[in-house]
Structure 1
Amino acid sequence: MDEIRLSSCEEIRTAFDLYGEEALFRGQTEHYSDKSGCVSIMSSMVRSGCVPGHTQLWSYYAKEVIQAVWGHEPVPTPIVMSQAILQHYGWRSFFVDATAAAAVASWFAGYRLQIENCFEITADSAGTPVALVHEVGNCSAHDGIGHLYVLSREAICKAGIELHDLVGALPARADGIVRPIAQDAWLIGPLRALPSVSIIAHISAPAQAFRDYAESAGLIEMSRVFPSPAEDSILRYLFSVPWELIHGRVRDLPIYMRGLRLPEYSFKPLKCHPADEAFFSPFWIAQNRGGDLLQNALFLRAPRGRLFGDQGKCECMPELIALVRKHGMVVVESDLPISYPEHVGTMEYGKGIVVKAHGDRLIEISSLSLDLSGCCAEEIGVAYGWFYECSGHGKLSRVQHAEECPCPNQLRHENHLAIAGAAERWLSASCFYPNVGLSWAFVEPDQ
């Protein structure tokens, strides 16, 4: 590895000319070494660890993003694209991120990123006062030495490690300027850490010199590296996840945090938030069922992570189907709502699924929807679903039906089936117990 110490923007420009277009770059304000003194560049999941609940929720929303961006087009590497969303929008992945743009790497070598909690005293669209906790991302000019690493694509591949060009992988229909495009991003991995043989140069220089180089390429405002939700359709969707009530009060106001914790790089306080921004205080539809539609249904209440996490396929559901036959309708309700890309800009959210019997052999699985506007829950509904024929041992087989949901979103209905499968597993493990009336509560299984 070449150790190159420079002092000016022009020297940096000359150094970059030494490396061909096949190089990748990574900029940092700190230099890290392992016990043997070699450069240490680890994946964020190895550095910070896995928090299963958060990772599961991020993975769920990443799948939704992929469905929204690619539509019916084949996704080249769905697992990699899912990890890319986790890595670039605020969580962790088993990959190391890099860029094909030396200017982007120079920006990260010249600016220090900081995430700080910020309180906002504001109101919902109806004027109800609320306190919001934002995780605000700010950049400040680093006043020390910046570090930029030149990576060899050839050496990475020879080491048996995969390279993923995120810009090339994104379809042309990707809306706006999403963050991976703004950063000309690549992912390397999966891995624990980059092998030292793949790092062909370590360039150190005053951070100001790196900033000058980035600015010469037009990277002056932070929004050029972190586009705002108005420009970035992926970020806009992730921001649509409802805010959730947390413990404590500020000025006797309820406090909310984003349901999906992610840094905000373009935060601007608002006097009043729009109607399609939801602030959710915990409640169960099972305990306040509204009209006649759900009055006689059996409710299975469970944590969101147990229902929307990756639970795998389950085609036979004897326990669940037996309850559907007995009660006519079973609702599997999540404690917290879920946002869907197709409903961004509306007030509609998912709260679980409804499994309904149609005669002796037909079952419909559909979405339990909840309209939220600001702090107010306005309407409960049941969407159209997909139909399944139920054979022996509760085995479900998809069938076409005149009253099925006409939407083209196959992932949505596959997720509904997966939630039904999750409920079946928890029923089989005796994780639901009768609570009040036609309402069963979830209890964690013994470890």
Structure 2
Amino acid sequence: MKTVQIATKADLEAAISHLDRPSLFRGQRRHYVDDDDRPSIVTSMHRQGCKPPLQHKWSRYAEEVLRALSFDKDRTVDLNEVQAVLQHYGWRSFFIDATASPAVASWFAGHQYSENLVLEMAQDCFEHPLVAAHTAAEYQPNEGEAVLYVFSMDRLRESNMPTFDLSVLTSEDCRLRPQVQEAWLVGVSSGKLPSETISHAIHGPANAFAEYALDFGFATTPDLFPGRHEDPILALLLAVPWTHIPIDGQIEGYCRGLPLPEHDLDVIKTYPPWIAFVRDFWISDKPREPGSPISDATFFRVPETAFYVSMQNPSASFPTITAELRKRGTIVLESEGLLGIPEFHPSNDYMKGLHLVLDSDGCAKLSEVSIEHPGREPAGIGLMRHWTYEIQDDGLWQRSDKIGQCECNNYQRHEANFRRLAVFEDFLSSGWFDRLDDETFVFNQ
């Protein structure tokens, strides 16, 4: 690694002009070293640690947001795209973020990040008062020294460090954050970037980096962090249902269902009806209405986190579910919270669980339990259109071609629900439910 010391913007321009291409860039306000005095650049996951429930939730919403924004619902969302959303919108990933633009990296070197808690007095669409907790984020000019790292693409390949160009996340109609930042991801299996992949470390005053970035139009935070009205990925992540938090006093408090920093925080006095503020509740606690599709169902209360987990290579055989379904006729797997449906946005319809019913011919119908939840108020309950599965003699569930099934073009959403059955099968076969009453079982782990 070559160390370059600059003093002015002109020095930086000269240093960048002599770099080998192709290269990737990363700007930091500080230069960190390890015990061997080598540059220490680690992933956000390595630095902040993993929180599995939130990690699964973030990953699931990132995947569904990307699918909702794609006109091709048959396209499989790539893992790297999911990691890009996690990394660039406020969570953490197993990758190191970089950019193809030295100007973008210079802007980050020239600015310092900070965040603080903001409690907002607001009201929902029914004018119920509430306290909304936000994480307000901002970048201020960095005082002192900063550093611009240059990653050699050749050295990254030689070190078996995969790189991913996030130009796939682009749109002509809006400004997506990875697009504006010309973002790349560098895969790091050990959590730390090998120092030999860094060709240059350019050190100098932070204002020199900021001045260089300014020449390319990067002056303020919105230049690199488009707001929710320009960036639909951000808008959909911000539409995830809010969750209740305990606070002192009679007014209820809520925080975002996905904890993410808001660079474009604006005071909202009255939230629209498609923003839900949710206290955990069970529809199985409510009286059963005659004729309702769930009136005769046996409920299994499943933690919300189970709906975000995907088992690797799940089996299509569900012997315990099959036995319970043949015994009870109708089963509902209910979450205590709400699961947002990004492709429906803006809408006050949410997923509350899964509905399984045994048809007269022995087939199983699988659909989503949906609920309207404008503001703080739960409302009507219904079922989404189903997919039908034949339960074969060997116990495997095979997709049926019977008429009357859902004809939407988002087959991956239905397949995700089918994979969720593998998690429920594991819970059931492990004996992780206790009977609450004749019609309700509760998770005991």
State the TM-score, normalizing by the size of structure 1.
0.95
Shift of 1:74: 7.2
Letter of the aligned partner of 1:391 in structure 2?
Q
What is aligned with 1:227? 226
What is aligned with 1:386? 387
Distance 1:327 1:410, change over 3 A: same
Shift of 1:78: 1.2
Q: How does 1:228-307 map to 2 (within 5 A)?
A: 228-249=227-248, 251-288=249-286, 291-292=289-290, 293=292, 294-307=294-307
Q: Distance in 1 between matches of 2:226 and 2:350?
A: 26
What is aligned with 2:216? 217
Structure 1: give runs of 5+ residues left out of the alignment. none
Letter of the aligned partner of 1:162 in structure 2?
P
Structure 2: give runs of 5+ residues left out of the alignment. none
Q: Distance in 2 between matches of 1:423 and 1:175?
A: 41
Q: How does 1:25-424 map to 2 (within 5 A)?
A: 25-72=25-72, 78-167=78-167, 169-170=168-169, 176-191=174-189, 192-249=191-248, 251-288=249-286, 291-292=289-290, 293=292, 294-312=294-312, 313-392=314-393, 394-424=395-425
Does the 8 Å CA contact 2:74/2:412 hold for their aligned counterparts? no
Q: Distance in 2 between matches of 1:160 and 1:141?
A: 36
Shift of 1:73: 7.0
Does the 8 Å CA contact 2:69/2:343 hold for their aligned counterparts? no
Does the 8 Å CA contact 2:371/2:378 hold for their aligned counterparts? yes
Shift of 1:174: 7.4
Letter of the aligned partner of 2:180 in structure 1?
A
Shift of 1:410: 1.1
When the two structures are aligned, how many residues end up with a matched partner?
441
Shift of 1:309: 0.9
Shift of 1:122: 0.5
- 1:94-128 superposed Cα distances (whole Å, 9 cap, x missing partner): 11110001111011101111121110110011110
Q: Distance in 2 between matches of 1:404 and 1:190?
A: 44
Letter of the aligned partner of 2:357 in structure 1?
K
Letter of the aligned partner of 2:208 in structure 1?
A
Shift of 1:182: 1.0
Shift of 1:65: 2.6
Does the 8 Å CA contact 1:67/1:411 hold for their aligned counterparts? no
- 1:169-223 superposed Cα distances (whole Å, 9 cap, x missing partner): 33x6676211110110000113321111111111112111111111111112211
Shift of 1:341: 1.8
Does the 8 Å CA contact 1:66/1:78 hold for their aligned counterparts? no
Q: Distance in 1 between matches of 2:258 and 2:442?
A: 24
Letter of the aligned partner of 1:427 in structure 2?
L
Letter of the aligned partner of 1:344 in structure 2?
H
Does the 8 Å CA contact 2:174/2:232 hold for their aligned counterparts? yes
Distance 1:424 1:289, change over 3 A: farther
SS of the aligned residue for 2:239 comes to coil
Q: Distance in 2 between matches of 1:19 and 1:74?
A: 41
Q: Distance in 1 between matches of 2:410 and 2:108?
A: 38
SS of the aligned residue for 2:108 comes to helix
Q: Distance in 2 between matches of 1:240 and 1:426?
A: 30
CA-atom RMSD in angstroms: 1.7
- 1:267-303 superposed Cα distances (whole Å, 9 cap, x missing partner): 0011111111110011101111553311210001011
Q: Distance in 1 between matches of 2:233 and 2:204?
A: 34
SS of the aligned residue for 1:369 comes to strand
Q: Distance in 1 between matches of 2:123 and 2:405?
A: 40
State the TM-score, normalizing by the size of structure 2.
0.95
Distance 1:95 1:416, change over 3 A: same
SS of the aligned residue for 1:408 comes to coil
SS of the aligned residue for 2:379 comes to strand
- 1:112-167 superposed Cα distances (whole Å, 9 cap, x missing partner): 11121110110011110000111111111111111111111111111111111111
Letter of the aligned partner of 1:220 in structure 2?
A
SS of the aligned residue for 2:333 comes to strand
Q: Distance in 2 between matches of 1:77 and 1:186?
A: 17
Shift of 1:311: 2.4
Shift of 1:79: 1.6
SS of the aligned residue for 2:227 comes to coil
Shift of 1:75: 5.6
Q: Distance in 2 between matches of 1:85 and 1:178?
A: 10
The percent identity for this pair of structures is 33
